[in-house]
Amino acid sequence: MVSLTILNCNAMARRFSALAALPRLDFLPKEYTGPSFKQTESIKSEKFPPAVFNIYKKPLLLHQGFMQWLFDHEGKRYLDLIGGIVTVSVGHCHPKVTSALHKQIDTLWHTTNIYRHPKIYEYIEKLTEKFPGDLKVVYLVNSGTEANDLAILLAKTYTGNNDVISLQSSYHGYSSALMGLTASQSYRLPLAVPPGFYHAMLPDPFRGIWGGCRDSHSQVPGACSCPGDCVTSDKYVHQLHELLANSIPAGRVAALFAESIQGVNGTVQFPKGYLRKASELIKKHGGLYVADEVQSGFGRTGDAFWGFETHGAMPDIVTLAKGIGNGFPMAAVVTTKEIAAAHARASYFNTFGGNPMAAAVGKAVLEVIEEENLQENCKVTGKYFIERLMELQKKYSILGDVRGKGLMLGLELVEPGTKTPLAATDVAEIAEAVKEMGVLLGRGGRFNNVLRIKPPMCIGKQDVDFAVSVLDEAFGIFMKNTKK
């Protein structure tokens, strides 16, 4: 298997001579012993739901990971720049996290929170230290969908109101209850949704009608450069005010849900000042501000541990998932004592939330972020990454927008010289080429034309150089073959 890995890397280097050197890795994957690729094809086609589709023409069969690297069944190494959809925060199979899990598995797996066990107390104490103000009460659950569903319940219970607002093109989970909160056609089925969900105009500096400037090293070409709040923020907030004034009964709004940076929608950032002003407006109307930090939390944006902190906004409820467990299935809702007290009108129970294994993993993840200074790495490496991507933008006219903060970045691909989204089939071809050269990216956005870059937070500048050289090669091949 070792020789096969080396052969694959050498073959790739010969085929794509312009690529930067694959960063050295003193780690050898185990030999693959699972079902053959052909067997997985058969099982998937017969026994997996068709909604779970292949994202590549030639699907990947992955069997091992180490930090920012993944290995397929043939031993080929891939730089993981999507981190299991922004879930692997500190690195695949991080030694400290896996050690904490092994130790806990050998001690106590499960009790539910009807009993006390030490790890849940140790973890909650450490997690709440990361939050400002009165955000000190923690519900431990199992997924982002469950966390956002619980946040809706808390907001409605506390305010006594029923109407909830999210932003257009947002994604907040996939369940019958959240089908109305999620405002992305890709995830909406033609079914009736629970009443009381509304979608405010998306304040998008690239595609929004007023544009705007954002908290990023990269701005939309021709954007304003406001020293403080962006001048467009008031215009977008006015649209939110109009929604409240026309569509929602006076004083009946329960909450505004917003990500600090939209994840699934292709790393959309808001004009500076928008989120603070929008949350203040909602609170004036009797509602709560729920910060969805499922993708942008845990230091990923670099300047702060939580994305909402970079907006100067103070949420009433925060939802967490994905990177919270570095891939272990866990999530959380963090709120105030006052809001949680309203929930005590009925009992609450969660079978697996905060189980000993999850609590041990969550605590270890927080420790690794601190000990390895990963928030600072997100800031420094993220700045270097976006600057390298901005260089590519000058070279290739299909790069309509480069955006993001820290290690939460996006490349929106367009028809040259326009804002017309590049066809999803073309984007897929580019992503396929990038994969063949050893880099894994995500795709997203309303038109599925955004390459999403949200890697494990341990990547370094050598990884960035390799990734940029791969993107450079892939864009160059595409432009040459299509004569764009």
Confidence of residue 271 (pLDDT cuts 50, 70, 90): very high
- State the chain's mean pLDDT as an integer: 94
Phi, psi angle pair for 40, to nearest 5°: -65, -35
Please, are residues 306 and 292 in contact by the beta-carbon 8 Å criterion? no
- pLDDT of residue 14 exceeding 90, the answer is no
- pLDDT of residue 10 exceeding 70, the answer is no
Fold for 2-80+374-482, please state it: Aspartate Aminotransferase, domain 1 (3.90.1150)
pLDDT of 5: 42
Confidence of residue 251 (pLDDT cuts 50, 70, 90): confident
Q: Which two tokens stand for residue 27?
A: 């780690």
Tens digits of residue pLDDT in 158-177: 999 999 999 999 999 999 88
pLDDT of 451: 98
Quote the pTM value. 0.94
Among 4-13, 90-99, 449-458, name the one with the lowest average pLDDT: 4-13
Tens digits of residue pLDDT in 391-436: 999 999 999 999 999 999 999 999 998 999 999 999 999 999 999 9
Please, are residues 367 and 361 in contact by the beta-carbon 8 Å criterion? no
Q: In this structure, what DSSP letter does residue 270 have?
A: P
Tens digits of residue pLDDT in 440-463: 999 999 999 999 999 999 999 999
Confidence of residue 9 (pLDDT cuts 50, 70, 90): very low
Confidence of residue 262 (pLDDT cuts 50, 70, 90): very high
pLDDT of 153: 97
- pLDDT of residue 13 exceeding 60, the answer is no
Neighbours of 434 (CB within 10 A): 22
pLDDT of 483: 83
Confidence of residue 1 (pLDDT cuts 50, 70, 90): very low
pLDDT of 17: 55
Mean of the pLDDT values across residues 90-96?
A: 98
Alpha-carbon torsion 362, 81, 404, 444, what sign? negative
Confidence of residue 43 (pLDDT cuts 50, 70, 90): very high
pLDDT of 266: 97
Tens digits of residue pLDDT in 185-224: 888 888 888 899 999 999 999 999 999 999 999 999 999 9
pLDDT of 193: 86
- pLDDT of residue 311 exceeding 90, the answer is yes
- pLDDT of residue 75 exceeding 80, the answer is yes
Mean of the pLDDT values across residues 353-376?
A: 97
pLDDT of 7: 40
High-pLDDT (> 90) share of the chain, %:
88
Give CA separation, 347 vs 114, 115, 136, in Å.
12, 15, 20
Class of domain 97-371: alpha beta
Q: Which two tokens stand for residue 282?
A: 């909602």
pLDDT of 186: 87
Q: Give which of 209, 188, 186, 207 is closest to 197, Cα–Cα.
A: 188
- pLDDT of residue 74 exceeding 90, the answer is yes
- pLDDT of residue 389 exceeding 90, the answer is yes
Phi, psi angle pair for 390, to nearest 5°: -65, -30
Domain ranges of the chain: 2-80+374-482, 97-371
Confidence of residue 16 (pLDDT cuts 50, 70, 90): low
Confidence of residue 6 (pLDDT cuts 50, 70, 90): very low
Burial of 369 (0-12, 13-18, 19+ CB in 10 A): buried
Mean of the pLDDT values across residues 141-145?
A: 97
> Which stretch of DSSP H or E encloses residue 394?
helix 374-395
